[in-house]
Every structure is written in structure tokens, then in C-alpha cells.
Structure 1
Amino acid sequence: MFRTAANHREHHQTANGLSWFAIVRLGLIQASLGSIVVLTNSTLNRVMVVELSLAAVIPGLLVGIHYAIQLSRPVWGHRSDVGSSRTAWILGGLALLAISGTAAAATTFLFEANFYVGLVAAIAAYTLIGVGIGASGTCLLALMAAKTAPERRASAATITWMLMIAGIVVTSIATGINLDPYTHSRLVAVTAITGLVVLCVSALAIAGIEKKPTVIGDKDRKPATSFQESIKEVLNDPEARLLTLFIFMSMLAYSTQDLILEPFAGLLFGMSPGETTKLSGTQHGGVFFGMAVVGIAGGLFSKRKPGLIKFFIVAGCLGSGLALAFLSLAASVAPAWPLEANIFALGFMNGAFAVAAVGTMMVLAGAGKSSNEGVRMGVWGAAQAVSFGLGGVAGTVVLTLGRWSTGNDATAFTLVFALEAILFLMSALVALRIGVKPVPRRDTEAHTAPSTVPAE
């Protein structure tokens, strides 16, 4: 028996998974998701509070709704597991996101006409936004996990998230240019055009990728069956449970700081709004750099050092906790503290652990007894969504209670940062218990076994 040239090429693709170019193409889809979400979470949020003079709690609750709806992520993941095409779910979810994002922008007209009608329409739009994000994002990660070689998964996660950040930045700049002078019609038009552009880009980016060979060994794995069975399998898997707990705790700590860092700099360090905005940019620069370091190291060394991803997770959590502990100290000595350096270090450690955690999700997505990558990604995505929804609220609530009970801003911020540091320490302890398994030997054997297909 001889292997034909076509068989040889297929074997080579299976062993190595997606090329770097294909991984970048999938990253463009994540960038597309970020481009639409930033319009609903940031731009529309500002319009509701400033131009429409709504209470800040209104857009806050609307964003909370789309996070809550993402508890449905396991359902969409399972649908893609048992269906014939993850591509359809990815593009369908992205199309729904584009349409519902435009509808959310259009509610600005309704709010001006009748507050209650506008609120009902906005709730419906944000509900669909949550469905679109959940369906598209979950199935995208499941597809990437199934098609990417294990040694490239940390780098793939880095590329994907860095492109998402880039998409957010580009969209924010383009939106800022095209929204002036502001009108509701301009907002709707910009949102609609953004949705159309990213949908076209995503359709081109994903074309043909699902036909690539799967690197997760399907030979000895059962096909996914019912949703109940898939969920039961995930919940009965100790490592899947540990990873779910880790994601919830670490992302809760990660997101709790979002809404309090700028007030912290303003109240205790006397920074102006422009200066605190630059400080936020410093933090995101740190996140970007931390992700890049993990991606480069993962691409160069993860094949020879399979425990490297776990190292970055634990080190990132411990480093984030240490940076937050220093911020607690900074609250008592402000303004005599190198705040910018502290914030950059926090961002760097946040980026390192976050992208390493996504890489771990991609590794463990194929560790089940059945082909249920979508459900696994859905469970972990739901844990992250809940954490992000709770984090911002928790940070502001604890800060408010601290200021009320102590009458001292520095003490209140110290309390919040200390609690976040403890959460990161606990997350690191959980991460130490997660054994990032290498690809099972049967997968390798399936890839390297001699072909029994006769020459044509």
C-alpha cells in the first residue's frame, strides 16, 4: 500500500493543524465581534447617558442583560457539535449581532419619543445581542480548538485576542471620526455599516477552514449526543469543573477593577479625565504586551515544554494579585506612588494569564469522551460572561459601601483592591490543580499510522 501525494498532504495538514495564516483569518472574526460589541457597550452607553440624559443604571442593566443571555452558550455550542456546520452558526450569530446592534442604536429615536417604548425595544435588542455573541463566539472557539495543533493553541489564542483588541481600537477611532457632528441617524448608519463590513470580512475569512482536517482525534471518541448527556459529561469531568471554577474566579477578579481604576486615579492622585483615560491606555498596553509574550513563548517552546501554559496562568494570577496588593498600598501613600508603572504591570499580568487561560480552554476542549468541544467552550464562556456581568457591579458596590462605612476614599479603595488580590491568589491555587494534559497518544497514532488507501 502506498500513500498518494494528496494523502501525504492531508496527513501533513492533520498533524500540524491550521497554518498561521488560517489562524489569523479566524482571529479576524473575533475582531469583528469586538468591533460591534464596542459600539453597544461603549458608544451607545455614552449616548444614553449624555445625549439622552438617561440614568447611568439603564445602559448598565442593558449590558448586564446581554451577559446574562450568554448563559445560553452551552446550548449554541451543542448545536454546533451535533450539526453539520460550525461555520453557519458563526456567521449566523454574527449576522444576528450586526442586526440587533443596529436595532439597539435605533432605540435612541424611541427613547426620545417614549421612554418605556424605547426601554422595551432596547431590552429586546440587547437580548438578541447576547444570543449573537454567544452563538458566534462559542462556535468560533470550538472550531479553532478542533483545527489548531496543540503546540500552537497558546499562540492562536494570543493572535485571536490581540486582533480583537485591534478591532475594538480601529472601530473606536473610525466611529469617533464619523459620528461628528452627532445625530441619532449617524449612529444608526455607522453601526449598520460596521455590521455589514465585518460580516463580509468574516465570511471571506472563514471560507474553507472548516474543511481542514481536525487535529483532535475523533477515531476513539463518540459523536456528541443529547445536550443533557454532553452537559453531564462536562460536569463529571474533574478538570472541566476546575477550569470552570478558575475562569469564574479569575475573570471576576479581572473585571472588578474595570469601573474603579479611573475613579481611583482621579480621587487619590488628582488626575484629570484626560490623564485617567491615558492611564487606561497604559493598562491596555500592558495587556497587549502580556498577551504577546505568552503567544511568542507558546509558539517557540510549548511543544518542548507542555507545562508552559499552566506556568503562565499561575504566574499571571500571582502577578496580578501582587500588582493589586501594591495598589492597595498606593491608596495609603497617594500621590507618592509610581501609578503608571503599577497599572502597566497589572495589565501585563492580566494579559498573560487571560490568554493562557484561553489556550488551556482550547487544549481541554478536546479532552472529552465524546466530540463535544462546543458544549465545553459554551460552559466556560458562560462562566466568563457571568463573571464579567458581576465584576463591574461588585467593584462599584464594594467601593460605595466602603466609602459609606469608613468615610475614607483611600480605605475603601484599599478594601476593593485587597479583595481582588485575594481572588487572584485563590484562582492561582485552583489553577495549580488543573493538569493540562498532552494530546492523547491515540491522536498521535491516528495521525502517524500508515495509510491504507491504495494509490490511485
Structure 2
Amino acid sequence: MTDSASLLKARLRRLAVPFAEVGTRELPMTQILRLSLFQVTVGMIYVMFTGTLNRVMIHELGIAASLLGAVIALPILFAPLRLLIGHRSDHRRSALGWRRVPYLWIGTLLMFGGLAVMPFGLLVQSEYGADAPFLASLGAALAFFLSGLGVHVTQTTGLALTNDLAPEGKLPQVVGVMYVMLLVGMVISTGVFYVLLADFSHERLVQVLQGAALVIWALNVFALWRQEPRDPERSRVDRPRPPLSESWQSFMQRGPVVRLLVVTGIGAAGFGMQDIIIEPYGAAVLGLEVAGTTLLTGLWAIGMLIGFWFAKMALERGLNAYGAATIGALVGVLAFSLVIVSAPLDSPTIFRVGQVGIGVGGALFYVGTLAATMSMATREQSGIAIGAWGAVQATVLGAALAIGAGISDLVPALAEAGRLPELFLHPAAGYSVVYSAEIVLLLAMVVAAWPLARFTREGESNVSPSTATSNESGY
């Protein structure tokens, strides 16, 4: 009876705390959580860029939405640099024996510097934007560029360091922890920024943004402290550094890298086109109040946590990473279908269930594709692998956001001009076209990922032992 009770207790603990057993003697859970703080800071920046500063810039400061979109898009234009950043961190020359830490430090300083000058750039833009729009926008553009570039550098090298430190067979679970902490950072910072900026003033804006800069600096210093073992031989200053093209060709020989990146791009577009129109859809089509649309972010976060939990459990039980990503895409198809039918049924409940499903599917997709990319690389190639994955998903996501917003505006405009049937005059028409396009993209991703799943089942003998071991471990 005692043994049965102990077994039941252990199973309940695993269900309640799904990542409790990720830690090992080589990489304890405390070290994993400390390392994951860099994802918390990235989550803070994401919230500011996509939520908090949107409201502040448009409503409180009166900055045009088009200008807001332009400055926020600036960091996305440099997302392809993640590939170069990852490559350079793989082959960093340092007498101190570090490869990743210098880039984590550089990324931290870029985020700190961007946030430190951002409030002044925004205030200048608000005050003088009408008289000298170009000159007044330079400060805000520089601030967003520095912060966004810092995110690219920090997240790319941070995940590469995660791959370096993760024990064999534990990589998918460690990746799951990283993305849970990203979500934690987004949720906590959303609440904190909401409270601190509720009584808005220019002075409060300066205090909040510069305080966030200081918090980000402190968390990242604590995160990287004594994480990367020093290895002067691996990073000696006279060690030859292969060109990017040579490193890329070497990585390409590890397996079907191009197809994996295509799958990542298609899936990122499929999950990302609706990011900035989901709340307007709830308000315009289903009549949700401001509090109701704000709740959508929380529902999405709950769905992401459920998805991370399921990804961890499924990968531990032998499901390969491509299978997890494919299941995520199919869950996304179902979720977007629910969002579409919620309009004719006038059902906010179905809409909210669909929002949770989007979170579940997105978590499975991102964990699956990232774990697959990391497992395809050797320890010496983790930087370029993470850089390639990050460059593809960030660039495609930025383009998908713009295309999705454009389609939602274009469809009703064409209908009003008589170029589309009257059916498209319905308030839900433009949004439904976007959701339908996402369903098509996710189904296309499933088709493209099918040969990859077969590769992991049949191709172990054609890859190196480390990759075969990774595949047999479930990713």
C-alpha cells in the first residue's frame, strides 16, 4: 500500500509540476531556472513592444499608428542577423575561454541602452513629430532598434548556451522550461506595467522604462553568472574561424535542414497572422468589452502552458519533435476553425476556447521545431542552428503580422467598393479570411513536415551518432 501511495504521489507531482524532473546532476533545476531568466527579460521586451507601448504611444502620446508600426518593425528587419550572431558565437575567439557569455553581455547592454533612451525618444516624437517628423522619429527609432537587436543577440546566444549545457535526452524538456519562463516574463510584466502606468504621466513613463532597463540588466547578469564553463582551448585567439558559408554547408550536411526551416516558416506564419487582430475581432464581431479582450491574453497564456506540459509529457514518452510540431499545427487548425464559427454562432465562449487552442498548438509547434533544430546540430553548431531557426521564425512572423493586418482591412474595403460579394461586408469577413489563410498554412506545414517525421524513423543510420542518440531520445 505504501509503495502504491508513493507511486501515486510521484505521478501526481509530475502532473502538477511537469518540469520538476528536468534537472540532473550535471545541470540542476536551480541552474536551469537561473539561466532561463534571459527569457524572462525577452518576454518583458515583447510585452512592451506589442502591448504596453502600443497603448501609450497611440492614446497617451498621440503618435500615429502607422509610425508606431514602422518603428516596431525595425528590429524585425534585422532578424536574419540571428544566423550571423549564432555563427560568431560558435567560433568566438576569447582568451577568457568563453563563447556565449560575451554575446549575452552585448545583448544585455543593447536592451539596457535602448530602454534607457526610449522614453526621451518617445516624448520628443510626441512633442515635435508634427513639425519635423523625420528628425523627431530618430530617437524612438534608435531606441527600438537597440532594444530589438539586443533581443536577437540575447535570445540566440542564450538558447545556444542552453543547447551546450543540456544533457543528452533532456534537451526538449529544457527548451520547454525556457519557453515557460518566456511566458512567465510576459504575464508578470503585463500586470506590472499595467499597474505602474495606470496613472500615466511623462515622468512615470521615464521611470517605468528606465526601471525596466535596470531590471533587465540585473536579471541577465544573474542569469549568465558562472553558467558557461571556461575552455581557453576551444576559444583560443589563434584558432581558425570558418566563414559563415562553410559553417552553413557543414550544418546542412546534418540532415534536411532546409525543409525543417521551411516547416518552421510556414508554421510561424500560420500561428502569427492573427496576433494583432484577435482582440479587435473579439470587440468588433462579438462585442467584447475592454476587460473581455484583455482576458484573451490570459487565455492564450493558459493554452501555452498546457501546450508546454503536453509537449514535455509526449516527448518523454517517445514522440519525436516533428510529431509534436505536427500535432500543434492540427490543434491550431481546430482552434482557428472554432474562432471562425464563433462569429455566426455569436458565441464568445467558443471564441475563448479557440484562443486557448491557439496557445496549445503554438506551444507544441515552437517547442517541436526548436528541439528538432537543436538536435540536428552538434555542440559546435548550436549557435548557427538556433540563429537559423530564430531568423526564419522572427522574419516570417513579422511579415505575417503585417499581411494579416493588411488583409483584415483590405477585404472590407474591396467589399465596400463593390469588388467582392456583399457577404464580405460582414464585420467578421476580413478577419475570417485571415483565419482561413492560417488554416491553409498550417495544413501545408503538416504536409511539409511529413517527410521529416519519416526521416527520424528511418534515417538514423544516415546521421551521426549524436543525432541518432537525440532522435532515439524522442526529439
Classify the secondary structure of the residue corresponding to 1:209: coil
1:133 aligned to which of 132, 143, 151 = 151
Residues 168 and 223 of structure 1: CA distance in aligned 2, closer, same or farther (over 3 Å): farther
Residues 338 and 39 of structure 1: CA distance in aligned 2, closer, same or farther (over 3 Å): closer
Confirm or deny that 1:349 pairs with 2:361.
yes
Q: Which residue of 2 aligns with 1:47?
A: 56
Q: Kindly state the Cα deviation for residue 237 of structure 1 after the two structures are TM-superposed.
A: 5.7
Q: Which residue of 1 aligns with 2:247?
A: 230
Confirm or deny that 1:399 pairs with 2:408.
yes
Map 1:160-309 → 2, pairs under 5 A: 160-211=178-229, 225-234=242-251, 239-298=256-315, 300-301=316-317, 305=318, 307-309=319-321
Q: Kindly state the Cα deviation for residue 314 of structure 1 after the two structures are TM-superposed.
A: 0.9
Residue 431 of structure 2 aligns with an amino acid whose one-letter code is F
Deviations 1:12-69 (A, max 9, x none): xxx9753332222221111122223422432222211011212111111111111111
Deviations 1:72-106 (A, max 9, x none): 11121122111142111012111211111222222
Confirm or deny that 1:30 pairs with 2:39.
yes
Residues 258 and 424 of structure 1: CA distance in aligned 2, closer, same or farther (over 3 Å): same
Confirm or deny that 1:332 pairs with 2:332.
no
Cα distance in structure 1, aligned partners of 2:45 and 2:284:
32
Map 1:64-75 → 2, pairs under 5 A: 64-75=73-84
Classify the secondary structure of the residue corresponding to 2:378: coil
Q: Kindly state the Cα deviation for residue 238 of structure 1 after the two structures are TM-superposed.
A: 5.1
Consecutive unaligned residues of structure 2, counting only runs of 5 or more, are 1-23, 232-238, 416-423, 470-475
Cα distance in structure 2, aligned partners of 1:18 and 1:258:
35
Instruction: Kindly tell me the number of residue pairs found equivalent between the two proteins.
Output: 416
Residues 93 and 209 of structure 1: CA distance in aligned 2, closer, same or farther (over 3 Å): same
Q: Which residue of 1 aligns with 2:325?
A: 313
Q: Kindly state the Cα deviation for residue 265 of structure 1 after the two structures are TM-superposed.
A: 1.9
The answer to whether the Cα contact below 8 Å between 1:105 and 1:191 also exists between their aligned partners in 2 is yes
Deviations 1:152-179 (A, max 9, x none): 1111111111111111222222223333
The answer to whether the Cα contact below 8 Å between 1:139 and 1:374 also exists between their aligned partners in 2 is yes
Residue 355 of structure 1 aligns with an amino acid whose one-letter code is V
Relative to structure 2, which stretch is displaced further, 257-266 or 17-26?
17-26
The answer to whether the Cα contact below 8 Å between 1:287 and 1:348 also exists between their aligned partners in 2 is yes
Cα distance in structure 1, aligned partners of 2:467 and 2:449:
25
Q: Which residue of 2 aligns with 1:86?
A: 100
Cα distance in structure 2, aligned partners of 1:279 and 1:45:
17
Confirm or deny that 1:124 pairs with 2:142.
yes
Deviations 1:183-216 (A, max 9, x none): 2232222222222223222222222221189xxx
Q: Kindly state the Cα deviation for residue 443 of structure 1 after the two structures are TM-superposed.
A: 8.4
Residue 409 of structure 2 aligns with an amino acid whose one-letter code is T
Residues 265 and 112 of structure 1: CA distance in aligned 2, closer, same or farther (over 3 Å): closer
Cα distance in structure 1, aligned partners of 2:287 and 2:123:
38
Q: Which residue of 1 aligns with 2:465?
A: 441
The answer to whether the Cα contact below 8 Å between 2:332 and 2:358 also exists between their aligned partners in 1 is yes
Classify the secondary structure of the residue corresponding to 1:210: coil
Q: Which residue of 2 aligns with 1:103?
A: 117
Q: Kindly state the Cα deviation for residue 395 of structure 1 after the two structures are TM-superposed.
A: 1.1
Q: Kindly state the Cα deviation for residue 137 of structure 1 after the two structures are TM-superposed.
A: 1.0
Q: Which residue of 2 aligns with 1:448?
A: none
Residue 184 of structure 1 aligns with an amino acid whose one-letter code is H
Give the TM-score normalised by structure 2. 0.81
Residues 341 and 39 of structure 1: CA distance in aligned 2, closer, same or farther (over 3 Å): closer
Q: Kindly state the Cα deviation for residue 319 of structure 1 after the two structures are TM-superposed.
A: 1.4
Residues 442 and 135 of structure 1: CA distance in aligned 2, closer, same or farther (over 3 Å): closer
The answer to whether the Cα contact below 8 Å between 2:122 and 2:139 also exists between their aligned partners in 1 is no
Relative to structure 2, which stretch is displaced further, 264-273 or 136-145?
264-273
Residues 226 and 252 of structure 1: CA distance in aligned 2, closer, same or farther (over 3 Å): same
Q: Which residue of 2 aligns with 1:378?
A: 387
Q: Kindly state the Cα deviation for residue 338 of structure 1 after the two structures are TM-superposed.
A: 2.4
Cα distance in structure 2, aligned partners of 1:55 and 1:191:
20
The answer to whether the Cα contact below 8 Å between 2:82 and 2:153 also exists between their aligned partners in 1 is yes
Q: Kindly state the Cα deviation for residue 396 of structure 1 after the two structures are TM-superposed.
A: 1.4
Q: CA RMSD in A?
A: 2.7
Q: Kindly state the Cα deviation for residue 250 of structure 1 after the two structures are TM-superposed.
A: 0.6
Map 1:418-429 → 2, pairs under 5 A: 418-429=436-447
The answer to whether the Cα contact below 8 Å between 1:33 and 1:94 also exists between their aligned partners in 2 is no
Larger RCO (CA within 8 A; separation ≥ 6): 1
Cα distance in structure 2, aligned partners of 1:408 and 1:51:
31
State the identity %. Answer: 23
Q: Kindly state the Cα deviation for residue 235 of structure 1 after the two structures are TM-superposed.
A: 5.3
Q: Kindly state the Cα deviation for residue 376 of structure 1 after the two structures are TM-superposed.
A: 2.0
Cα distance in structure 2, aligned partners of 1:81 and 1:326:
44
Cα distance in structure 2, aligned partners of 1:125 and 1:336:
38
Q: Kindly state the Cα deviation for residue 139 of structure 1 after the two structures are TM-superposed.
A: 0.7
The answer to whether the Cα contact below 8 Å between 2:374 and 2:385 also exists between their aligned partners in 1 is no
Deviations 1:132-155 (A, max 9, x none): 111111111111112212421111
Residues 444 and 251 of structure 1: CA distance in aligned 2, closer, same or farther (over 3 Å): closer
The answer to whether the Cα contact below 8 Å between 1:110 and 1:118 also exists between their aligned partners in 2 is yes
Classify the secondary structure of the residue corresponding to 1:91: helix
Residues 271 and 156 of structure 1: CA distance in aligned 2, closer, same or farther (over 3 Å): same
Consecutive unaligned residues of structure 1, counting only runs of 5 or more, are 1-14, 214-221, 446-456
Give the TM-score normalised by structure 1. 0.84
Confirm or deny that 1:410 pairs with 2:418.
no
Cα distance in structure 2, aligned partners of 1:126 and 1:400:
26
Residue 255 of structure 1 aligns with an amino acid whose one-letter code is G
Q: Kindly state the Cα deviation for residue 286 of structure 1 after the two structures are TM-superposed.
A: 0.8
Residue 278 of structure 2 aligns with an amino acid whose one-letter code is L
The answer to whether the Cα contact below 8 Å between 2:307 and 2:363 also exists between their aligned partners in 1 is yes
Cα distance in structure 1, aligned partners of 2:230 and 2:169:
17
